[in-house]
Amino acid sequence: MGVPSNNITVCLVSDQLAGGGAERFSAQLSTFLVEKGIHVHHVLVLDAIEYPYKGEVFNLGRLKKNSPFFLHRFRRFLALRNFFKTHTFTVIIDTRVKKRSLQELLIHRLIYQGSYILMVHSARTEWYVPMGSWGARWIYKKAAAVVAVSKGIQQLMETQYGLKNVVHIPVTYPTFPVFSSLDLPPFILAVGRMNDPIKQYDRLLAMYAQSELPQKGIHLIILGEGNLLPEYQRQAEQLHCSKLIHFPGRVTNTNDYYTKALFSVLTSKNEGFPTVLLESLVFGTPVIAYDCPTGPSEIIQHESNGLLVPNQDEATFIQALNRMINDKDLYLRCKDHAKFSVAQYSMEQIGAQWLNLISQKL
């Protein structure tokens, strides 16, 4: 559906434009919209920008610096209110994690002017709806739409909170250049932050050590950083696999690793719509993942582009690691089908769904 783009102004409200998949998607969406002739403004809670983006930025994070704790919240609230008073937006797209009930009441009642859309990026829906079902119905039923990045999240938002305005639009995979300059032994790959135990890298390390991969000289590389990294490094030592397990830290361009990996793995407790699986598959690299809530079951076509393991079933996950290495027909089939299996998640196709949604709210 066409959109009179020269008359559209979109405000993207994000925690930051750095760090995770939700923040990266805000940057990607802004670039797509601007290239379609739509005016875009960003409102950032934190002063952190590392992803390529387009549009103007109102950075609340900078107001937090050099300001006493008891004053900066009030100053930022007034600044945010003044920003929305002096700008008129066709639609506000809010992708933030929401922690404080009173704050959200004030933002949605006193600050946001006009149509707004809420995005939910995780199966941990309480991160986005801190007030529970009553608050969700009171505030978010007034939203133009609640966008769930997976069908599983859409179902959760509808059943847990009784919302009728939920739509499903998945996220896309990032596009960065591939340099292919890595000179590494055969390895499997995991990617994600290490600030909390959600990714369960401790369990991944244990399962890798119990699999046939170490004996076959196949290494494990985990990209990411966070406060749990030293704990994982100690565990690798204790498992007598430290020479085979590598922690390169946070890598700006992960594509070189995806293209060289034998396959990628995901062992999370929960997800939203894990872009790490999309990234791996778009470079032709198969995946193995737990069928955790939510997303992997919507991306992985079992035994066609990867292996979907019953949620938290460690014995079956170990078997999957061994099978992907030992069953050459399975591996080649998954590798051949990988890239084609995620073609529908290109930015052009996902962006078109956003254009349709915005046009419906004009």
Percentage, residues of the chain above pLDDT 70 = 94
Among residues 65, 144, 133, the alpha carbon closest in space to that of 101 is found at: 133
Q: 233: which 2 tokens?
A: 């490094």
In a domain, 177, yes or no: no
Same structural domain for residues 13 and 142?
yes
56 and 125 fall within a common domain: yes
Give the number of domains in the chain.
2
Q: Which two tokens stand for residue 262?
A: 């034998």
Same domain, 96 and 199: no
Task: Examine the domain organization and report whether 282 and 199 are in the same domain.
Answer: yes
| pTM (2 d.p.) | 0.92
pLDDT, mean over the chain = 92
Which CATH number characterizes residue 67's domain?
3.40.50.2000
Asked if residue 180 is part of any domain, the answer here is no
Mark whether 152 and 195 lie in a shared domain. no
Q: Which residues pair with 348 in a beta bridge?
A: none
Cβ proximity of 211 and 321 under 8 Å? yes
Give 231-269 pLDDT, tens digit per residue. 999 999 999 999 999 999 988 778 889 999 999 999 999
| 195 shares its domain with 112 | no
At 347, list the tokens.
């930015």
Task: Read off the DSSP letter of residue 17.
Answer: B
Whether residue 192 sits in one domain with residue 77? no
- Residue 180 pLDDT > 70, yes or no? no
Percent of the chain with pLDDT over 90: 77
- Mean pLDDT within 157-164: 91
Cβ 331 vs Cβ 324: under 8 Å: yes
Domain hosting residue 128, numbered range: 5-172+346-360
78, with CB counted inside 10 A (0-12, 13-18, 19+), is exposed
Asked whether the bond before 294 is cis by omega within 30 degrees of 0, the reply is: yes
